[in-house]
Amino acid sequence: MSTSLLIARQPEQEEFAGFRLLAGGAPEVFLKNLRATTSAAGLPVLVSGVRSFEQRAVFCAEKAAPPAEFSKGIGFLTSGSTGEPRAVWKSDECLVAETERHAELFANLPEGPVLALVPPWHLYGFLFSVLLPARLGRECVFSEPGVPTADQPRASLVVAVPALFQYVEELAQRGRVAGAVVFSGAPLGEEKRARWRQAFGAKTSVKQWSELCTADKSQRALEVIGSTETGGLGVSCASEHDRAFTPLPGVSLRVDGDGVAHLRSPFVSGGERPLDDRLTLCPDGRFEHAGRRDLIFKFAGKRHSLTEVEARLAALLPGAQVRCFFREDDSHSKGGVLHAFLAGAPESSLAHLRESWRERGELPFPQEFHFRTEFARDALGKITFASLLAPPASHAFSADRQNRKG
């Protein structure tokens, strides 16, 4: 088990840590601002970031041990949208296989370093800012978003998340992007795609993997869809009007009669697995992303949509930001707790909400309201249940408790 690494986070690190992937002859790579230590379970751990190592060490010892059949690879701590920390273990073979596919895609980049705007302790950042530059023999520069400077080297590839779109757009407008930009970690969205096409021109549509690999990468914006659990699923060119994704080689997708998508991939161990995302398969072998399956929840025995709940809250609170999550709990009489996060809405609006809600038909009224000045994002720019639960400037309010008082 000594060949496995768990990537976690620790503040104020200034040391370098190096390690070698043991499959596929991958080169030794070094991570700036990360250091190696050992958890209470005896596993090597790369730590950096925001939480104290003492907390992570306990977690590593109790919950993050690799499965018994696991021998060599890396564990990534991920919270997803639920906020429950857990380790997802990726074998060396799976990591090397995915790195090879991305190396094919970006083999024809112009000269220049890779500019990474995402942390390497997430799978996306690790693949694109550590393994891919090492495979291509390129320097990788880790950078915090700021004001682009004239002496900043022109990047052959920029690794970013959609939350940093405006900064990346400014980089490209100032001539600091010689090659491609890749976005992942959250949906890019049609508005940002259209802005990129308007600023830098629409590219000729390419649909097949071989065409994507040989296409001109100059200021071409690409979106990679996937997750820590699934690895990369496909690539879409945001510089085109077409929003469909081309599957990475070896990725096989099917949708069953219930609309559930299933995946087989060389980047995932263990055979076929269902996906949390809804996909629409195209006749030409590509697919479109149709949102997440977990937007449907069961409350008091009836199925409802988080999208519908959010839409009603937004209609009743014009100008407010709204995000809802449902946390399943078998011990709860309704099957779980519906949380509503509001930014830009006063707590005094709750009474108006409850009264207006009943007049608009059957939809469950959130049991827990959380009032925020703004929505916090995680390191990948996602608004998740975990990021929203981080200690805010304002506080949570239980609609259930107010009901009991009244």
List Cα–Cα distances, 323 to 33, 295, 329, 389, 401, in angstroms: 33, 11, 20, 12, 21
**Closest Cα partner for 340 from 318, 358, 320?**
320
CB count in 10 Å sphere of residue 1: 13
Number of domains the chain is built from: 2
What CA–CA distance (Å, rounded) separates 295 from 305?
Answer: 6
* 3-class SS of residue 345: coil
Is position 71 within any domain?
no
Kindly provide the residue ranges of all beta strands, DSSP E only, lying in 48-198, ordered along the sequence. Answer: 73-78, 86-91, 114-116, 140-142, 155-160, 177-183
* Residue 378: both structure tokens together: 């995680």
Give the residue, 329 or 367, on which the prediction is more confident. Answer: 367
* 3-class SS of residue 315: helix
Query: End of a domain among 293, 316, 347?
Result: 293
Q: Is 220 in the same domain as 102?
A: yes
Q: What is the pLDDT of residues 282-331, one digit of tens each?
A: 999 999 988 777 677 778 767 788 888 999 999 999 989 999 988 877 66
Q: Residues 230-239, buried b or exposed e (16+ Cβ, 10 A)?
A: bbbbbbbbbb
CB 274, CB 230: distance < 8 Å:
no
**Closest Cα partner for 87 from 129, 131, 24, 39?**
39
**Rg (Cα) of the chain, in Å, rounded?**
22
Look at residue 394 in the predicted model and tell me its pLDDT.
47
Q: Is 336 in the same domain as 286?
A: no
Q: Is 334 in the same domain as 356?
A: yes
Q: What is the pLDDT of residues 86-103, one digit of tens each?
A: 677 787 788 888 999 999
DSSP 356-398: HHHTT-S-PPPSEEEEESS----TTS---HHHHHS--SS-EEE
Is position 66 within any domain?
no
**Closest Cα partner for 39 from 17, 8, 14?**
8
Q: Which residues pair with 37 in a beta bridge?
A: 45
The packing angle between helices 350-358 and 306-316, to 10°, is: 120
Q: Is 283 in the same domain as 307?
A: no
Look at residue 11 in the predicted model and tell me its pLDDT.
34
Is position 44 within any domain?
no
What CA–CA distance (Å, rounded) separates 104 from 196?
Answer: 24
Q: What is the pLDDT of residues 228-277, one digit of tens each?
A: 889 999 999 988 888 899 999 999 999 988 788 999 999 998 889 998 88
Look at residue 259 in the predicted model and tell me its pLDDT.
80
Q: What CATH number is given to the structural domain containing 160?
A: 3.40.50.12780
List Cα–Cα distances, 93 to 74, 99, 121, in angstroms: 11, 10, 19
Look at residue 7 in the predicted model and tell me its pLDDT.
46
In Å, the largest CA–CA distance within the chain is 68
Q: Is 244 in the same domain as 337?
A: no
Question: Which amino acid belongs to residue 80?
Answer: G
Q: What CATH number is given to the structural domain containing 387?
A: 3.30.300.30
Q: Is 105 in the same domain as 211?
A: yes
Q: Is 256 in the same domain as 309?
A: no
Is position 163 within any domain?
yes
Q: What percent of the chain has pLDDT over 90?
A: 32
Is position 15 within any domain?
no
The vertex-306 CA angle with 302 and 307, nearest 5°, equals 125
* pTM for this entry: 0.68
Is position 340 within any domain?
yes
Q: What are the backbone dihedrals phi and psi of residue 163, each rounded to the nearest 5 degrees, phi first?
A: -65, -20
The vertex-161 CA angle with 156 and 162, nearest 5°, equals 115
- For residue 188, the enclosing domain spans 90-293
Q: Is 182 in the same domain as 240?
A: yes
Look at residue 103 in the predicted model and tell me its pLDDT.
93
Q: Is 193 in the same domain as 336?
A: no
Q: Is 308 in the same domain as 289?
A: no
Is position 34 within any domain?
no
Q: Is 242 in the same domain as 322?
A: no
Residue 209: pLDDT band with limits 50, 70, 90: very high
Mean pLDDT of 197-207: 85
End-to-end CA distance of the chain: 57
CB 248, CB 98: distance < 8 Å:
yes
Q: Is 287 in the same domain as 365?
A: no
Q: What are the backbone dihedrals phi and psi of residue 166, each rounded to the nearest 5 degrees, phi first?
A: -60, -40
Is position 327 within any domain?
yes
Query: End of a domain among 273, 293, 313?
Result: 293
Query: End of a domain among 293, 313, 336?
Result: 293
Q: How do the residues of the chain divide into helix, strand and coil, expressed in percent and rounded to 5?
A: 25, 30, 45
